[in-house]
A and B are shown apart, each in its own frame.
Chain A
Amino acid sequence: MKRMKVSLFVTCLIDIFQTDVGMDTVELLERLGCEVDFPEKQTCCGQPAYNSGYTGKAKESMKHMIRVFEHSDYVVTPSGSCATMFTEYPHIFKGDPEWETRAQALADKTYELTQFIVEVLGVEDVGAKLNGKATYHTSCHMTRLLGVTEAPMKLLSHVEGLEMQPLPHNYNCCGFGGTFSVKMTPISEQMVDEKVQSVEETGADILVGADCGCLMNIGGRIDRKGKPIKVMHIASVLNSK
């Protein structure tokens, strides 16, 4: 079988703060038979500027990213929110004779990591082993906008030794919201506390998620409060042996 060529869009948060999640993603995809490349010129999907209303400025980053991944077969990213941003590009460049089609091409070949493994590779058991009791945070953009709900659950259910607990009120936002977390901190604080409380109710010792933004938010709050809950990106869970 021909090895599937995958371009990794690692996201700026992982590139700078959560490097191990990036490495886990590479190892996982390779173990599943993919040939992974990392286009070095990649930066950020533009979401911080776009969601703050700076569309013009965000478009510069977006055009850059379209160029960076123009020759990729598949673009895979360990972030539901950043994948969603790529799929929004055609909507943002709508009516632009040069960029709309190029944006559409990128959107069409972009997949969130778990979505790619389940939907494209057709794999549900990646052969991972991790002992513990875990719960999964369903991030908003990934579930509501990208529509990926089942893939992460399927993959996690096959991790040997991992007992999954349903997260009550999993549909509630964790309060990250990008710049919302620093602009509306008093509200964000209430939201993240509510999420931490839900996680605690499950009795899980591991919180798993597929978005570094949410995990930095929930994890940062868990850490500040000194709660004994480990926060893990799903790529790291799936790459545990």
Chain B
Amino acid sequence: MVMKIGEKPFKERVADGVNDTFMRGAVASAQGRLRSGRLKAAEELGNWEEWRQLGEEIRAHTIENLDYYLEQLSENVTKRGGHVFFAQTAEEANEYITGVVKKKNGKKIVKSKSMVTEEINMNQALEQIGCEVVESDLGEWILQVDDHDPPSHIVAPALHKNKEQIRNVFKEKLGYDKSEKPEELALFAREKLREEFLQADIGITGCNFAIAESGTVSLVTNEGNARMVTTIPDTQITVMGMERIVPTWEEMEVLVSLLTRAAVGQKLTSYITALTGPRQEGEADGPEEFHLVIVDNGRSQILGTAFQSILHCIRCAACINVCPVYRHVGGHSYGSIYPGPVGAVLSPLLGGYEDYKELPYASSLCAACTEACPVKIPLHEHLLRHRQEIVEKEGKAPAFENLSMKAFSLGTASPSMYNIGSKLAPAALGAFTKEDKISSGPGPLKNWTAIREFPAPKKDRFRDLYKKRKKERGEG
């Protein structure tokens, strides 16, 4: 599966993450900023909950009628002289894109940020046919310069790096000789990227929302790079996940308002770019040729299932920015370009349980993600649903767990079994108990007591004490 990053097993990835103090420092401070920014922006709007409600309704309606809106979008893009290609798989998408590039004899490609092109590993496909692909989003560019370090966040891909590390990357790879001040770093990147834009013959963008009624592709950026990508090269290719669509401009406005606030705490980003097909007669700019590649890559398999609402996601990363697990392990630990709660739900759906079965368990089900989601996706419920699928449909739960859950069910569905079990607990754990606590427990307690004390079960349970008390008071 192409969205997979790295080959290390989950446990090792987590250990790497937990031990990476620099990364954790960078992530924690970014999370703090993004979280408070989102809350402030939501408060400024006033009736945030009503906006969320509206956002949820728009997304639910659109995904419910996805076929209708995709057809409308496709018709309107074609009407304006654009080309539309529906790719069922990553391979089909890459084949079409490389086909267009070959036909145009494209050599240098500039890109604006796009998660779906990461998902289908498009850059590699283009590099294989001899093209040079340049990322123009600052974060993505940093990672590209750093020997293709994978993104660790869907909005801020280089979030795991601090400014000193970025300076070192620039210094080592590009001979940068200035300080780690963000302004100086950004200026350097800007100068370098300007040259790339001017030389590029093909521009490739992602898509935040495609507007079905007009056949428009909209892009939300703070750097203006999407505007450069879509104005300088003669040929533009836009790649979108098949769910990144809204019926009309009116819904686009609502969702952009939610997106920028939830993602970065801004009322609006510096640029909202909207493009409707290739340059028309009498228009001053825009590409001569426009291709829209709509990628399925497993999404239609989610339609009609209990997981459908994960397709409502507008990729704001608010869930990632509040997730305590993400904070401690970092994005790369998820082994997918989609990290955090949304990634833990989406990656197993798109990539299968074989590679991603641990992700739904990498959550304390604290529901911070669900609370933060601007379109009210019940993320923690989806994580739970994955666990149900793994246990009950896939039969992939460990045998030991199956056994202990069987025992749990026996012990809690029948009062007499519970009575015996809870009565025997102190004796069973007696050998491990010292001064009312267990410091090194057996079985499932082993992991608990590896880092914390466990209380010894009481000889007299609450029910025994209660009975005694009742008797003493002459009620029993």
Stretch among B66-74, B82-90, B140-148, B403-411 lining the A interface: B403-411
On chain B, which size bracket covers the interface?
35 or more
Question: What secondary structure prevails in chain B residues at the interface with A?
Answer: helix
Of B120-128, B259-267, B358-366, the segment with at least 4 beta carbons within 8 Å of chain A is B358-366
Inter-subunit contact B368/A173 (CB<8 Å): yes
Whether A185 sits at the interface, judged by CB under 8 Å, is yes
Per-residue CB contact flags for chain B residues 382-393 toward chain A (1 = under 8 Å, else 0) read 001011111110
**A residues at B contact (CB < 8 Å):** 10, 12, 14-19, 22-23, 26, 38, 40-44, 46, 48-58, 60-61, 63-64, 140-141, 144-145, 171-173, 175-178, 180-192, 194, 216-217, 219-221, 223-224
- Return B320 CB to nearest CB of chain A, in Å: 15
Per the bound structure, the CA–CA distance linking A136 and B452 in Å amounts to: 20
Nearest CB on B from A82, distance (A): 12
Chain B, range 351-408, C-beta contacts under 8 Å to A = 361-368, 370-371, 384, 386-392, 397, 401, 405-406, 408
User: B18 at the A/B interface (Cβ < 8 Å)?
Assistant: yes
Kindly provide the distance from the CB of B28 to the nearest chain A CB, expressed in whole angstroms: 9
Contact between A186 and B368, CB atoms less than 8 A apart = no
- Given contacts A23-B466, A140-B367, A187-B14, 11 further A-B pairs with CB under 8 A are A26-B466, A43-B418, A57-B405, A57-B409, A175-B324, A180-B361, A181-B364, A185-B450, A216-B454, A220-B454, A221-B451
Contact of B409 (CB < 8 Å), options: A12, A49, A171, A191: A49
What are 17 inter-chain pairs, A to B, with CB distance below 8 A? A15-B422, A15-B463, A18-B455, A19-B465, A23-B462, A42-B415, A57-B405, A145-B367, A177-B365, A180-B365, A182-B445, A182-B448, A187-B18, A188-B364, A189-B451, A217-B452, A220-B448
In the complex, B53 has a CB within 8 A of chain A:
no
Please determine whether A53 and B384 come into contact, CB atoms closer than 8 angstroms.
yes
Interface residues of B in 30-78 (CB under 8 A from A): none
B461 contacts partner chain A, Cβ-Cβ < 8 Å: yes
Residues in B with CB closer than 8 Å to A60 are: 409, 412-413
Q: Complex: how many Å from CA A51 to CA B388?
A: 9
Contact status B364-A54, CB under 8 Å: no
Contact yes or no, A191 B367, CB < 8 A: no
Contact of B254 with A by CB under 8 A: no
Contacts of A221 in B (CB 8 A): 451-452
- Is B1 close to A, CB under 8 A? no
- Residue in A54, A144, A187 whose CB lies within 8 Å of B371: A144
| B444 within 8 A of partner (CB) | yes
Q: Is the Cβ of B328 less than 8 Å from the Cβ of A19? A: no
Known: A12-B422, A55-B392. A43 touches B461 (CB 8 A): no
In the complex, the chain B residue whose C-beta lies closest to that of A57 is B409
B→A interface (CB under 8 Å) = 14-15, 18, 322, 324-325, 328-329, 361-368, 370-371, 384, 386-392, 397, 401, 405-406, 408-409, 411-415, 418, 422, 425, 437, 439, 444-445, 447-448, 450-458, 460-463, 465-466, 469
A216 CA to B437 CA, complexed, in Å? 11
Query: Are B452 and A220 closer than 8 Å at their CB atoms?
Result: yes
Chain B neighbourhood of A180, CB < 8 A: 361, 363-365
Q: Contacts of B388 on A, CB cut-off 8 Å?
A: 53-55
Tell which of B367, B406, B453 touches A223, judged by Cβ atoms closer than 8 Å: B453
Q: By the criterion CB–CB under 8 Å, are B328 and A144 in contact?
A: no
* Contact among A17, A46, A188 for B458, CB-based, below 8 A: A17
Give min CB distance, A46 to chain B, whole Å: 7
B409 near A52: Cβ-Cβ < 8 Å: no
Give CA–CA (A185, B463) in the complex, Å. Answer: 31
